[in-house]
Structure 1
């Protein structure tokens, strides 16, 4: 996909296009759009640095409260495609466009369901409003009371609903008036019940579809997100054109070479800094009778860049490194608790990309004091996008001291909440004649309360601000990026930790050998550089990751 490309990239099955596939992390995040779990489940995915917030709606309107999939898909789509949105953090190891397309697809499925439910509400509810309000009151009382921890309260809630049903039957048998209003009153009692059964069939069909997509994404069956509204069929479809442009803008920002350093949080999107190694020595002429041939930081960086491209090659046929992504990054410092970022702008930036000549100027000139900094990065996306290893190299020259710093960053797998597959609702009950044994009883896919909740919410989905005000929303962690917001540390996974630690030594040695070669070519005495490099080669073999951004390791 290109920023100004055609329409073909925006519909049909979307396959992530990262170096290592990226399907696991991408599809795990996308599956959240189809989930029907409780909204509070999202808090389980919070990590040390990034927490979601639940913006509660009105306490008296719990029936309008969304579930996880409804809130997630709406929040993510609005945040990543909304007009006037704030800048996003890149999702290394995942394809945010694919996730957003699944959110749009899930919203579309629910929108079609809500359109049919709205018809049911009008025919069986609004036309018989008194009866519907009485039934809704009973369900609301039952739901509120049943949430109490006391089991007796739950039984009381059920008893209230049964009492209302009994009164309804009594009302039908002994009508206090006659004529048209008598028949209307009977219909007002019966039609909401008929509408409930009708709505139940609609909800069950949609719930089954959503769960199949949820399971398909996590099973690797390649479920595609169909977003036909993102493909304008004629020049007059301005809404579709805006959506197409928003998706293109999202893809362009994902490819940006500008990142942000947020103190102890590390580089947003790349993870915290777990290791740091510095080589710093004076620039002394190899021949005291001759001066050092002038060179710049960029000359050293360019030599390192050329040699890093050879990392996937080795003297032995043992597998080794996969092909890394090697890029020049412009790193902007922000506050640890900053809630927004601002990307570089001006004539040196095009489609979120800082131009090469500007990067070269930053590398050579912005080494001390305020301003952005240049880093050369070598990045591996492994474990189907579940692990992102990034080694960053920066070269500075202050007075007569050349300093080469190599830092390691690691972004772990997405939280296990996103990788759980759907399970059919069930419960364990004691056997009738063997109470010491239990058996599994399958429950309805959609409960009675869920049918009522969906049916009541349906007419309001046409105006989301009111629905959000009543039921509440998810507050996404800012600055927001899909991948790092719900990433765990990789150190609890033995093999992931090994991969991160093993990558450091080869990169460090390539960096040092390339730099020393440039120094020799320019008449610099490299004896001390070689001694220091050998010392760092020993230090990098420490098997324990630290917290370098806290400056305690």
Structure 2
């Protein structure tokens, strides 16, 4: 799902706004994009780590400068997906990464507007009264350290410390031993940062409401689009905007690449682990009184491709949704590989292997080193939360033809990304009926959070400095937005049923097309038909397994 650019002759005033896909499969995309607008501790995202991919949080020097979840997520995703020297990406099946990145850019833009106002407040009420600002910041950092960096609410000791410093400040203001300008400055030095905090709180509250509204809107149907005018060049001299536009186009092109990577027990990266495998392998024997007409693997693959295209046309009214049938080139990488390298050369254009090269790999690279050809049929279900992929490979060695069908399943994004913003409340006892309780609303932005945002604001334009002081989110590699935070589908009974049910009709369609081709080329298909019937019984076993883990 790309964004539509509105401009005349390459330049214009429009902004990039993601459009709703015709198939409506945007739930997973919106869930991931909502992370850009979230608040709360960045460590929360570690709950979404899965069996094969784990993100980490690199701590900074001072907890007062640490980012929240939305800030860290937006920064990490932008750098990883749009960076000039970025590594290759893994496709995000079931989602579109470009809208996610656009929402990260939009969230960053909103925060920068907030930080501009906070910087002005910090300068007027903080930098001009620097000794008082440093005193208050020291108190808040000490209070935060006592409470623990991961706990945004200070304990009793930290609160007592803050109250004690406040009382001491009042005493100093009343009984200053100085007169003249110095006495006025010392008094203002204590008051100004507190007054600046009040103004900063209003700014932070307004921005927090805006971010939470966008967060809620995405999970409710995506009513608010991502506005990023900085991605649309206004004139030929805006090189930064042009580079950003090209980076977004490159991201979309790589998302639609027909090259995937097989990483041992991790399966095909981005498609999920292999949960089932069924092999039809028999000797090619001519029919009685006839000779086998020569054919190659590609001659078998093409009819299978055409047959899979017809899966949605069932005899019953209820059947498959429209599948995506595609030729894939699978490149092997190590199970523990931290990066992948996309093949390059004259046979590859915009991350796509050319059709004639696909046919050559299908016919010639079936044994030994090198990339392999697979024919895949993919179903995107549950609004993009479940991706089923059946991969078919055809190989022929000597007189044996082997047709292998494997199933891959990519589950929903972690539940962390699908939680809506909850109002901040506190449960207290009623005044009269003290045995009963009630909930009272709390401010969206607490005192510590206002101080944190105000301190970070002047450094917003120097992200590497903020990363050093406050820490950052480290994404798992090889990185792809979808599989990095995907849960297993087996926890949902209906999803598991969909995964298992899809295998039987796909495999039978593959076998039917194969046997038809063999029959046309003079092959005795009795053995293939018998073996197909056996596999039809085996595939009905309701037991997914880890087909890439070999007990050897």
* TM-score bucket of the superposed structures, by smaller chain: over 0.9
Tell me the equivalent position of 1:37.
40
Q: Distance in 2 between matches of 1:190 and 1:372?
A: 69
- Counterpart-to-counterpart distance in 1, 2:501 and 2:270: 21
Q: Is 1:56 the counterpart of 2:51 in the alignment?
A: no
SS at structure 1 position matched to 2:90: coil
How far, CA to CA, are the matches of 2:90 and 2:131 in structure 1?
50
* Alpha-carbon offset, residue 160 of structure 1: 1.0
- Structure 2 counterpart SS, 1:391: strand
Q: 1:316 to 1:83 in 2, by over 3 A?
A: same
* C-alpha separation in 1, matches of 2:311 and 2:526: 25
1:197-216 to structure 2, matched below 5 A, reads 197-216=198-217
CA distance 1:488–1:212, shift in 2 (3 Å): same
Alignment CA distance shift 1:521-1:260 (3 Å): same
Residue aligning to 1:154: 155
- Distance, in Å, in 2 between the alignment partners of 1:294 and 1:38 is 64
Do residues 275 (structure 1) and 276 (structure 2) align?
yes
1:21 and 2:24 aligned? yes
CA distance in 2, matches of 1:223, 1:174: 55
User: What residue is the counterpart of 1:373 in the other structure?
Assistant: 372
In the TM superposition, residue 481 of structure 1 has moved relative to its aligned partner by 0.3
- Alpha-carbon contact 1:431-1:437 (below 8 Å) kept: yes
Equivalent residue for 1:297?
297
The CA distance in 1 between the partners of 2:122 and 2:356, in whole Å, is: 62
Q: Which residue of 2 aligns with 1:398?
A: 397
For the 8 Å contact 2:3–2:98, the answer to whether it is kept is: no
Conserved? CA contact 2:63–2:149, under 8 Å: no
Corresponding residue SS for 1:193: helix
C-alpha change, 1:421 and 1:333, in structure 2 (3 Å) is same
Asked if the contact 1:4/1:248 (under 8 Å) is kept, the reply is no
Larger displacement relative to structure 2 (476-485 or 161-170): 161-170
2:528 paired residue number? 529
Unaligned runs of 5+ in 1: none
Deviations 1:184-216 (Å, cap 9, x if unpaired)?
Answer: 111111111110011011000000000000000
Structure 1 residue aligned with 2:49:
46
Provide the secondary structure at the position in 1 that maps to 2:328. Answer: strand
Shift of 1:435: 4.2
Long gaps (5+) in structure 2: none
Deviation at 1:146, TM superposition (A): 2.3
- Are 1:340 and 2:310 counterparts? no
Aligned residue for 1:545, secondary structure, equals coil
Q: From the superposition, tell whether residues 368 and 93 of structure 1 become closer, same or farther in structure 2 (CA, over 3 Å).
A: same
Residues 349 and 62 from structure 1, CA distance in 2 versus in 1: closer, same or farther, beyond 3 angstroms? same
How far apart are the structure 2 equivalents of 1:86 and 1:286?
A: 53
User: CA 1:552/1:503 → structure 2, altered by over 3 Å: closer, same or farther?
Assistant: farther
Give RMSD over aligned pairs.
Answer: 2.1
Alignment deviations for residues 414-465 of structure 1 (CA, whole Å, 9 cap, x no partner)? 0000000001111222334444332212111100010000000001111111
1:475 aligns with: 474
Rounded Cα–Cα distance in structure 2 between residues aligned with 1:151 and 1:260: 42
Structure 1 CA distance for aligned equivalents of residues 220 and 177 of structure 2:
59
Query: Do structure 1's residue 71 and structure 2's residue 75 form an aligned pair?
Result: no
Change over 3 Å in CA distance of 1:67–1:153 after alignment to 2: closer
Gap change, CA 1:5 and 1:422, over 3 Å in 2:
closer
> Which deviates the most, 432-441 or 235-244?
432-441
Question: What is the total number of aligned residue pairs between the two structures?
Answer: 548
Aligned to 1:543: 542
Name 1:122's counterpart in structure 2: 123
Partner Cα distance (2:530, 2:151) in 1: 71
1:113–1:203 CA contact under 8 A, matched in 2: yes
Which residue of structure 2 aligns with residue 357 of structure 1? 356
Residue 462 of structure 1 aligns to a residue whose secondary structure is coil
| SS of 1:389 mapped into structure 2 | strand
Q: Deviations over 1:289-343 (max 9, x none)?
A: 44311100000000100111110012222x2101100000000111111000011
Do the aligned residues in 2 keep the contact of 1:120 with 1:195 (CA within 8 Å)? yes
Residue range with higher mean Cα deviation, 308-317 or 416-425: 308-317
Per-residue CA shift, 1:346-366, capped at 9, x if unaligned?
000000000000000000000
Map 1:214-363 → 2, pairs under 5 A: 214-287=215-288, 289-317=289-317, 319-363=318-362
Distance 1:474 1:351, change over 3 A: same
Maintained 8 Å contact 2:144/2:154: no
1:388-439 CA distances to partner (integer Å, 9 max, x unpaired)? 0000000000111000000000100000000000011112223344443322
Rounded to whole Å, the distance in 1 between the matches of 2:153 and 2:258 is 59
CA–CA distance in structure 2, aligned partners of residues 87 and 340 of structure 1: 7
Residues 434, 144 of structure 1: alpha-carbon distance in 2 compared, 3 angstrom cutoff: farther
Secondary structure at the counterpart of residue 291 of structure 1: coil
Aligned CA distance change for structure 1 residues 149 and 309 (closer, same or farther; 3 Å): closer
Q: Give the secondary-structure state (helix, strand or coil) at the position aligned to 1:142.
A: helix
Alignment match, 1:484: 483
Distance 1:3-1:328 versus aligned 2 partners, 3 A rule: farther
The answer to whether the 8 A contact 2:264-2:335 is kept is: yes
- 2 CA distance for matches of 1:320 and 1:74? 43
Shift of residue 22, structure 1, vs aligned partner: 2.2
The match for 2:417 is 418
Distance 2:307 2:223 in 1: 37
